[in-house]
Amino acid sequence: MSDVSYVRTKMLDEMAPPVSQVGPIRWARENLFSSVTNSVLTLLAIWFIYSLLAATLPWIVFSSFSANSLGECRTAIRDAYGADATGACWSVIRERYLQLLFGFYPSESYWRPILALVLMLVAIGPILFEGLPRKMLIFSGLYPFVGFFLLWGGTVWLPVTILLGFVIAYFATTMLGKVIGSLGAVIAAILLPVIWWLFLAGPVAYGLHAIVPIGLVPIESARFGGFLLSIVIGVTGIVLSLPIGVLLALGRRSDLFVVRTICIGFIEFIRGVPLITLLFVASTLLNYFLPPGTTFDIVLRVMIMVTLFSSAYMAEVIRGGLAALPRGQYEAANALGMDYWKSMRLIIMPQALKISIPSIVGIFIGLFKDTTLVSIIGLMDPLGLSTAIRANAAWNGIVWELYGFIALMFFIFCFSMSRYSMYLERKLQTGH
Amino acid sequence: MSTAVEREVDRSQMKVSDEVAIQITNMNKWFGAFHVLRDINLTVQRGERIVVCGPSGSGKSTLIRCINALEEHQDGHISVDGTELSSDLKNIDKIRSEVGMLFQHFNLFPHLSILDNCTLAPIWVRKTPKKEAEEIAMHYLTKVKIPEQADKFPGQLSGGQQQRVAIARSLCMQPRIMLFDEPTSALDPEMIKEVLDTMIELAQEGMTMIVVTHEMGFARQVANRVIFMDAGQIVEQNEPEEFFNNPKSDRTKLFLSQILGH
């Protein structure tokens, strides 16, 4: 049996792979032409893309930017590219883009939403990306008040007094906790700020304003419109629905019967009702329940409804993430002596949220696009504005250019969210 | 099943003191209508190493899970280090931070690095400063012989390494009692040894341990008492020598013949 034995005497050197096995040729062969079916599909796809571009590219390129009405537009295109040419009339975007972005917001105050947007990016930065300094989170916490002040204007003391409510809540939990126990402190931390906001914050703010009048020109919600409105409603909904959804999901799994029942009731009710119904409630019905004479800002009402709506969905998505965690994680956290809130915050939620990222971002994207529904109750979001623009005699009959532009803007926002969620998933990947 | 047999174990440091670490009296537990633990009475002295064995479903895991209140008992008393285990949350958290626990499936936190796994509870429960907690963690990771893995994540480690990290994580809370719930049942044979070695070291340092395991070699070498449970009751307990060589009850004999017979 000596032929079984073998000993290598010389080790082999490393060699480059054959040319046919590397580079674009190999890629194309593997991905586009790996089989007959694949080759046919590739050719079909190329033909499809070609026809699509052949039909749309001339329309996009043979266009007019300078006309002042649809008729002028058509003449200009015919003059420039021949009698048969049809092209896009981008002039409408040129003429109305400020309106599509800001609605009827006074043009001398455009700097306010622009500054608010820039500051928002600064505020969101440290939440989205770990590399930025942690101290920036303080600004993120203050931003809602800054943003509110910039957009709506009025006295600077109103956001300050509203902020004070949270300071009151903070002191109620830290200082009263020792005196009246933790449950009492929690109740006080909810009750005291609510009393402050309902009865004292307003008068105090106006009192302070009378003494030290600092403020911006107030701008009412009716003038908000376009993407400004979409972003205000969308971002508020996104930022608030996540924490509310987390609390609802925890509540639904709670051992406390009352908490659990309330959470289930809320989630099931909100999920069982179309968003449009809630928006109608916000725009009309809510007034019947409020004391006569109170004006409760329509945009604020819509923001509340949109937030509640998506937080119900959020709760269910997060509950799915919670259910996916093995029991051992809860037990290990408990066995190390962590109480409920610590184990939720440090062990359970980070993992449950990570599992739910794709669905959470799905809800965010859905929410952002759903902001266009507010046009039904008469708010001037981009879609509402486009109807208004098309009602104008000069632009009557224009369709693709407006909706195409709006679609492109929405796509940019939604696609960025989607990419960010993929980045986050990759970053949080801790397996192999 | 006796992987841990041929090893010199120094029993000189394993001293049992008179101090009572755990006292269980007339404890009963039900899962719904199912009477899972029946009239358990057990006193554990400080420094004791107790091995609990028995067929699956005999209630041995449930018993040690009752000791740190992962399961609630419905009747009787459990006191740990003199603190009575009641439904009062303060007592439960206090006892849990004194009692370390190891699980069959390790239950490391997959989203945290090995070091963070070890420092999390000391920082948040014991309020240890971060730097100090990290020093303690590195000390125990060195003790379980994996300091070089500190920056990795649990998913990148082998089962045996994960279980050793779990031991280090428990030790970082500086517990006075350790509970082991089948710590080697999910491991490959060669990894069982590394985990048992770590547990033997702990025993040699005088840790009070209750170990639910099928590792009879470990029981022989380390335990000062072996408890056999069946149908939710303590059927027999004795010193390991006597327990293995001269079992009294028929159930114990049957169990030992099944577990040692192959």
pLDDT in tens, A234-252: 999 999 999 999 999 999 9
Chain A positions touching B124 (Cβ under 8 A) are 338, 342, 346
Chain A, window 61-90: residues with a beta carbon less than 8 angstroms from a chain B beta carbon: none
> pLDDT tens across A179-212, in order?
766 677 778 788 888 888 888 888 888 888 888 8
Distance to chain A for B81, nearest Cα, Å: 15
What pLDDT was estimated at residue B261?
67
Q: Out of B70, B99, B121, whose CB is closest to A331?
A: B70
| Cβ within 8 Å, pair A346-B124 | yes
Chain B positions touching A326 (Cβ under 8 A) are 105, 107
Cβ of residue A357 closer than 8 Å to a chain B Cβ: no
Nearest CA in chain A to B113: A430
Under the banding of pLDDT at 50, 70 and 90, the label for residue A431 is low
What pLDDT was estimated at residue A293?
66
> pLDDT tens across A247-282, in order?
999 999 988 899 999 999 999 999 999 999 999 888
For the segment A69-76, the average pLDDT, to the nearest whole number, is: 86
Cβ of residue B72 closer than 8 Å to a chain A Cβ: no
| Cβ within 8 Å, pair B105-A336 | no
3-state secondary structure chain A: CHHHCCCCCCCCCCCCCCHHHCHHHHHHHHHCCCCHHHHHHHHHHHHHHHHHHHHHHHHHHCCECCCCCHHHHHHHHHHHHCCCCCCCECHHHHHHHHHHHHECCCHHHCHHHHHHHHHHHHHHHHHHCCCCCCCHHHHHHHHHHHHHHHHHCEECHHHHHHHHHHHHHHHHHHHHHHHHHHHHHHHHHHHHHHHHHHHHHHHHHHHHHHHCCCEECCCCHHHEEHHHHHHHHHHHHHHHHHHHHHHHHHHHCCCCHHHHHHHHHHHHHHHCCCHHHHHHHHHHHHHHHCCCCCCCCHHHHHHHHHHHHHHHHHHHHHHHHHHHCCHHHHHHHHHCCCCHHHHHHHHHHHHHHHHHHHHHHHHHHHHHHHHHHHHHHCCECHHHHHHHHHHCHHHCCCCHHHHHHHHHHHHHHHHHHHHHHHHHHHHHCCCC
Q: Could you tell me if B17 and B45 are in contact, meaning their C-beta atoms sit under 8 angstroms apart? A: yes
Distance to chain A for B102, nearest Cα, Å: 8
Amino acid at A193: P
What pLDDT was estimated at residue A250?
94
Calpha distance A355→A348 (Å, rounded): 11
3-state secondary structure chain B: CCCCCCCCCCCCCCCCCCCEEEEEEEEEEEECCEEEEEEEEEEEECCCEEEEECCCCCCHHHHHHHHCCCCCCCEEEEEECCEECCCCHHHHHHHHHHEEEECCCCCCCCCCCHHHHHHHHHHHCCCCCHHHHHHHHHHHHHHCCCHHHCCCCHHHCCHHHHHHHHHHHHHCCCCCEEEEECCCCCCCHHHHHHHHHHHHHHHHCCCEEEEECCCHHHHHHHCCEEEEEECCEEEEEECHHHHHHCCCCHHHHHHHHHHHCC
Cβ of residue A425 closer than 8 Å to a chain B Cβ: no
Give me chain A's average pLDDT, please: 87
Sequence spans of domains, chain A: 97-105+222-432
Chain A positions touching B121 (Cβ under 8 A) are 336-338
Cβ of residue B258 closer than 8 Å to a chain A Cβ: no
For the segment A287-301, the average pLDDT, to the nearest whole number, is: 76
Calpha distance A371→A229 (Å, rounded): 8
What pLDDT was estimated at residue B12?
66
Amino acid at A32: L
What pLDDT was estimated at residue B4?
44
- Give me the residues of chain B with pLDDT under 50, please: 1-5
CA-wise closest residue to A301 among A322, A270, A280, A320: A280
| Cβ within 8 Å, pair B120-A337 | no
Lowest mean pLDDT among A148-157, A292-301, A395-404, B178-187: A292-301
Residue length, chain A? 432
> pLDDT tens across A134-182, in order?
888 888 889 999 999 999 888 888 888 888 888 888 887 777 766 766 6
| Cβ within 8 Å, pair B111-A354 | yes
Mutation site for B-interface testing, chosen from A327, A336, A340, A341 by largest number of B Cβ within 10 Å = A336
CA A399 to chain centre: 27
Calpha distance A360→A352 (Å, rounded): 11
Q: Out of A326, A337, A428, whose CB is closest to B121?
A: A337
Q: Which top CATH class is A97-105+222-432? A: mainly alpha
Chain B positions touching A331 (Cβ under 8 A) are 70, 103, 107
Nearest CA in chain A to B153: A430
Report the percent of chain A where pLDDT is more than 70: 96
What pLDDT was estimated at residue A192?
84
| Cβ within 8 Å, pair B89-A336 | no
Cβ of residue A326 closer than 8 Å to a chain B Cβ: yes
Distance to chain B for A188, nearest Cα, Å: 22
Calpha distance B165→A70 (Å, rounded): 72
Of B132 and A66, the structure prediction assigns the larger pLDDT to: B132
Amino acid at A16: A
The verdict on ipTM greater than 0.85 is yes
